[in-house]
Chain A
Amino acid sequence: MTRPAPRTRRPDGATLIVALILAAVAVVIWRDAARLPQAGGYAGVGPADVPRWIALGLGALSLWSAVEAFRQGRAAREPQNTGPILWIVGGLAAQLALLATAGFSIATGLLFAATARAFGKRNLALTVPLGIAFALMVYLVFAGLLQLALPAGPLERLVWSLLRGAPE
């Protein structure tokens, strides 16, 4: 690729970071491969060989990226809103943390509300109950009809006992 003169003198930070990450991954893979017994057997290619090839490839790509970062210079990028992203990541983390204890509906309801918050629905007093109701509905369909084993919490147990208690 032939490029016109660099846009600025400064290297592109993002591309440099990519180069560093690739180098780090290459080192991790290489060290993991070194730990493996070289059991190539009759093939001559053992479990540690392909990881080594991939680590070498990653190393080469890391160098290429570093060179590119200096040659290309800093590129302009659209600024990002960090708030909404943290809301979604937080929602996923909350679901992960609560799933085993609070059950599918409550944990997933929180994810629902957090995602809606990220996209501008700020009223959590409305979105949290709505999300839990929606997730509970999803739970009933999948755990009930399809027998999918979704983690049950207090809410699910309550609903099941109500459904079971009802006359057939």
Chain B
Amino acid sequence: MNTFDFLMQGLSVALDPAMLLYALIGVTLGTAVGVLPGIGPALTVALLLPVTYGLDPAGSLIMFAGIYYGGMYGGSTTSILLNTPGESASIVTALEGNKMARAGRGGPALATAAIGSFVAGLVATILLALVAPTVVKLALVFGPRDYFALMVLAFVTVSSAFGDSARKGLISLFVGLSLALVGIDQLTGQARLSFGVPQLLDGVEVTTLAVALFAVGEALFIAGRRSAADDQVIAVKGSVWMTARDWSRSWKPWLRGTAIGFPIGAMPAGGADIATFLSYAAEKRASPHPEEFGHGAIEGVAGPEAANNASAAGTLVPLLTLGLPTTATAAIMLAGFQQFGLQPGPLLFATNPQLVWGLIASLLIANLMLLVLNLPLIGLWVRLLTIPRPWLYAGILVFATLGTIGANPSPVELSMLLIFGVMGYGMRLYGYPIAPVVVGLILGPMAEQQLRRALSISQGDLTTLVASPVAATLLALAALALIVPLILRARGKGAVLSQLASDED
């Protein structure tokens, strides 16, 4: 049998009514938890694991996959409408998406996110079916030095997308990097900046920081405004649906997002959040209207949303082919496989082709289900914005704290939520961008660890950092990304850009 026959056979497994039901339950639950800040797909799958014990393996794995895709999708809704990302992979979506929603374009933003997620999910799942073994070989070529080079590239490209003032963007980034130092150093077990508080030994949780800076900070900022009546959010202006212009501006970012998200998701040390950062930076560079970024550019929603779904599919590549879980959700899905006595790994495709292809087929179906479920709901979601503010923000804070309490009911964690919330308020008040803090917290430790691992393997030889072709190429790209704008600016071509930047300051 060839791949196509297997896929057809898989589809017939997945189209079984019971399987469809599992997929439906999965995507519904996934979307629901994705919407809630702080409660991600990983936690949901972990909590449901014991419930599924003793059930049909195929069915429950299909349900977990549905939760995964649904969670990736659901996170964007609150990002766009309420500026409250559900998980770290949808933080970037909030940047442009929420600006669109405030201008009454929440409908198109949600639509481009939904369709982008669908397109990316579809393409990436097909790629998963066709090229998984090849992709995984390429992913294994990436060693610590190559990851370090990738992080450098991410820092350089992402920091160009930080907003108007270089000083403020860098300060935010360094605040994130400083927070990233808190906790046990992975490589030596030394406690850094934990001041003897045991709860700080595990460092600052990304979701806690993101929920605090975005949700709590936003609530404080809106509440503190004296002229609250003036900036009433417009729920819908114009069409709820995407216009022809929205379509023409969205399709390329969808495909670019997929192209970025899938391979990065497949890398053992990649991750959906990095994919979204890179996609946002790429869209800002590729856009003919870079000045619209920061004011609701649809490309900035379409690209990252496609990237995070594509990376969700990418994550399944090492999980299914090597048994390597590369995200928390994948790790728990692995536990799910093991619960049924299945060992994902190089032999799974050979020993359990029906299950694997059934899973891949049901991902396709779950993806379609998500689109069908969510497009009609957009009109309803947008109405969230019409809820009177006292109830809306009271509800947001209840769910924001619920996520933190549910994941780790420690007073230290809640105190962090409060402190970072106030910090988020201060940053908004004085015009410091929020996203770089989270970027620093996520990328900082990865860059540090990969650098030290690479140097440790080479026994301190610095040339190792450029000794692999992948690392050398990535570092060269990073250098170009840093130097080219400087040259352009020196030759006067950046004049318009810097003019715009200083106007906004």
Direct contact of A and B (CB under 8 A): yes
* Complex Cα–Cα for A149 and B50 (A): 14
What separation, in Å, do the CA atoms of A150 and B402 have in the docked complex? 8
Within 8 A of A (CB), among B387-405: 389-391, 393-395, 397-399, 401-402, 405
Q: CA separation between A32 and B190, bound complex, in Å?
A: 11
Decide yes or no whether B460 CB sits under 8 A from chain A. yes
Considering the complex, which residues of chain B in the window 373-394 have a beta carbon less than 8 Å from any beta carbon of chain A?
Answer: 389-391, 393-394
Is the Cβ of A85 less than 8 Å from the Cβ of B223? Answer: yes
Inside 8 A of A149's CB, which chain B residues have their CB?
Answer: 406, 409
B243 within 8 A of A: no
Quick check: is B220 within 8 A (CB to CB) of the other chain?
Answer: yes
Are B448 and A50 closer than 8 Å at their CB atoms?
yes
Give CA–CA (A93, B405) in the complex, Å.
Answer: 14
Which of the residues A64, A79, A92, A127 comes within 8 Å of B216, measured between beta carbons?
A: A92
Are B409 and A92 in touch, CB under 8 angstroms? Answer: no
Q: Give A117 to B175 CA distance when docked, in angstroms.
A: 32
Closest Cβ of chain B: how far from A100's Cβ, in Å? 7
- The residues of A that contact B224 with a CB separation of less than 8 Å are 80-82, 84-85
When C-beta atoms are compared, the residue in chain B nearest to A104 turns out to be B405
Encoded as 1 (CB less than 8 Å from any B CB) or 0, chain A from 91 to 110 comes to 11101100110001000100
Q: Are A61 and B174 in contact (CB under 8 A)?
A: yes
Q: Which of B43, B399, B418 contacts A96 (CB 8 A)?
A: B418
A51 touches B192 (CB 8 A): yes
The answer to whether the Cβ of B123 comes within 8 Å of any Cβ in the partner chain is: no
**What's the Cα separation between A77 and B223 when bound, in Å?**
16
Chain B positions 400 through 441: 1 when the CB is less than 8 Å from some CB of chain A, otherwise 0: 011001100101001101100110010001100000000000
- Find A89's partner among B51, B181, B220 (CB 8 Å cutoff): B220
Chain A residue nearest in CB terms to B459: A42
Q: Which residue of the partner chain, among B177, B430, B456, B498, contacts A54 with CB atoms under 8 Å?
A: B177
Interface residues of A in 43-99 (CB under 8 A from B): 43-47, 50-51, 54, 57-58, 61, 64-65, 68, 77-82, 84-85, 87-89, 91-93, 95-96, 99
- Docked-complex contact B181 and A134, CB < 8 angstroms: no
Q: A81-B223, A92-B417 are in contact. Are A1 and B502 (CB under 8 A)?
A: yes
Chain A contact residue count (CB 8 A cutoff): 72
A148 interface residue (CB < 8 Å to B): yes
A20 at the interface (CB under 8 A from B): no
A135 partner residues in chain B, CB cutoff 8 A: 398
Nearest-neighbour CB distance to chain B for A103, whole angstroms, equals 11
* A29 located at the interface, meaning its Cβ lies under 8 Å from any Cβ of chain B in the complex: yes
Contact-residue bracket for chain B: 35 or more
CB within 8 Å for A146 and B47 given contacts A42-B460, A88-B223 = yes
Q: Which residues of B contact A161 (CB under 8 A)?
A: none
B351 proximity list for chain A (CB < 8 A): none
Q: Which residues from A are CB-within-8-Å of B389? A: 119-120
Q: A18-B430, A149-B409 are in contact. Are A32 and B223 (CB under 8 A)?
A: no
Known: A41-B456, A88-B220, A131-B394. A96 touches B227 (CB 8 A): no
Query: Which residues of B are found within 8 Å of A95, using beta-carbon distances?
Result: 401, 414
B223 to chain A, nearest CB (A): 4
Given A43-B455, A61-B174, A131-B394, CB of A80 within 8 Å of CB of B429: yes
**Shortest Cβ distance from B500 into chain A, in angstroms?**
12
CB atoms of B411 and A112 under 8 A apart: no
A151 touches B405 (CB 8 A): yes
Which A residues are within 8 Å of any B CB, using their own CB? 1, 3, 14-15, 18, 22, 25, 28-29, 32-33, 36-37, 39, 41-47, 50-51, 54, 57-58, 61, 64-65, 68, 77-82, 84-85, 87-89, 91-93, 95-96, 99-100, 104, 108, 111-113, 115-121, 127, 131, 134-135, 138, 142, 146-151
